[in-house]
Amino acid sequence: MKKDIDPKILQKAQLWLEGNYDDETKEKVKDMIENDPHELIESFYQDLEFGTGGLRGIMGVGSNRLNKYTVGMATQGLANYLKLMFPDKEQIKMAIAHDSRNNSKYFTKIAADILSANNIKVYVFDDLRPTPELSYAIRHFNCQSGIVITASHNPKEYNGFKAYWDDGGQLIPPHDKNVIKEVQKITNIDDVKFDGDNSNIEIIGEEIDKIYLEEIKKQSLSGELIKKHNDLKIVYTPLHGTGVTLVPRILKEFGFKNIYSVPEQDVPDGNFPTAKSPNPEEPAALELAIKKATEVNANLVMATDPDGDRVGIAVKLPDNKFVLLNGNQTACLLMYYLMNKWNEDNKITGKEFIVKTIVTTELLKDIAIKNNVECYDVLTGFKWIADKIKEFEGTKIFITGGEESYGYMVGDFVRDKDAVASCAMIAETAAWAAEKGKTLYDLLIDIYLEFDHYKEKLHSVVRKGKSGAEEIQKMMADFRDNPGKQINNSDIVLTKDYLLQKEFNKETGEEKPIDLPQSNVLQFFLKDGSKISMRPSGTEPKIKFYFSVKDKLENKNDFAQNDEKLGKKIDDIIKSMGLG
């Protein structure tokens, strides 16, 4: 069997047999060499890459797997970078949280031990906690960095390591690339300080829960309305994740009385036994919750992902059935409520702003502009929303931010998407709608009537291997260099190229710089109001296309017909671009 394996892979595996690795690890490497060449190749053909957000990978033995040693080297690299950046600090401080995934608590201990051995003060949550609470803890304790052990909504075989900076946001340039360089310098596990110093570790928990939840409660704008409509029936599921610790609690503290759980999914479990995918974007993930909602005649269904930073919802239709909303629609409901309430309460002073990502619906911008609130676009990822808040800290007031991939943030006390706060504020939005005699579904149609009926769709093109990666590159180059004049019989009026950092207005001939970091993203804006965004993956042969179309909605009774027409329009655009 050995003769079929690349000698370089065997050599790498041999280093694990000879190095200062534990006996159990060595036994597993031996077994792969003798009995499982395929797994050996997968486990050692490359090093698990520490990317701009940290590590994420399949758990197991080997350099391309998430384990004690790859987590250890990442943690040591981060510790080394912090020492370079904060040389005058008497003691650097960090916070660590973890989700419900298999081995999350184990990896948390590994990271805490290494940091403490590097004379870094470490605040470690006593048990699983949502990612946004980690972001809050970093700022609360004036930490220089933080770590969350999570793989978000990936399958059960995965885990990960997300790194944060002192503002509570995920790493952005130059820190992301610089941390990567420091991690890459750790080429020998003997350079990792695994023996912890307990005097540098402090366990935290309930005391932080309380003050974090108090900050969420400060965002509430409709306490009296909640009292009036506190009998709204809400079904919530954490999908076996961390949301179970705080979401039901914050809903009750907001004043909602009828919170229904999905008992089998309330159990934190890294195997996610009742969910094919623990991803609130996937309809199957909400099946049990919707079944419960139908049984109890609920008004609203909410589901959070394993690390409690994203939320998906289902709302009731006039026929008492439930429909799932996408991330753009939920963001619009939340935004519309907040804008209206801030205006009703005379809180708009001209200094307020919201932030959305460039691939998120333009309807958010329409809502903000009508309410005299500035809207800023940033690159995909909540770290850029956090960066924008930091930029305007002390001069402008952040209201909310959102992205199409089911992440939202209300207020600036946390610097990452926050499903705990979002669940509370979505429920409050439902109470505000109820006061008007409406459901959230009614409210969504009201938004489309007041502005335009927007419809969005994500379409991914995936290829395989080296040839697939080349095909994806060529596809992107062709759209960049030869876009043509029309798409689906509508003129391209504006092109935004974030790689060249330029936008070009084809009607006026005007060219403007794009004041955002360089990114391989291309956008076409069509004369009929359609927006097409394309973004290739940096790690796999895949390219994502984000489609947004719109039309006037004159009558709420025309919604279904209009929605179908817009769906067909997206399909036609996909075909016209040769993607269907």
Task: List the domain boundaries for the chain.
Answer: 1-45, 50-210, 225-451, 453-576
Residues 545-566 have pLDDT tens digits of: 999 999 999 999 999 999 999 9
Ramachandran bin of 261, using left for φ above 0, alpha for ψ from -120 to 50, beta for the remaining angles: beta
Helix (H, G, I), strand (E, B) or coil at 120: coil
Residues 30-50 have pLDDT tens digits of: 999 999 999 999 999 989 988
d(CA 37, CA 32): 6
* Residue 538, pLDDT above cutoff 90: no
Label residue 467 by pLDDT band (50, 70, 90): confident
The angle, 0 to 180 degrees and rounded to 10, between the axes of the packed helices 104-117 and 68-85 is: 40
What is the mean predicted confidence (pLDDT) over 453-472? 89
Label residue 3 by pLDDT band (50, 70, 90): low
Contact by Cβ (8 Å): 392, 352: no
152 counts as catalytic: yes
Query: Among residues 152, 422, 519, 548, which one is catalytic?
Result: 152
Contact by Cβ (8 Å): 269, 239: no
Report the chain's terminal Cα–Cα distance, integer Å: 43
Contact by Cβ (8 Å): 79, 115: yes
CA dihedral 447→449→450→455, nearest 10 degrees, is 60
CATH fourth-level superfamily of 453-576? Alpha-D-phosphohexomutase, C-terminal domain (3.30.310.50)
In this structure, which topology does domain 50-210 adopt according to CATH? Answer: Alpha-D-Glucose-1,6-Bisphosphate; Chain A, domain 3 (3.40.120)
Q: What pTM was computed for the model?
A: 0.96
Cis peptide before 283 (omega within 30 of 0): no
Q: Do the first three CATH levels of 225-451 and 453-576 match, i.e. the same topology?
A: no
Class of domain 225-451: alpha beta
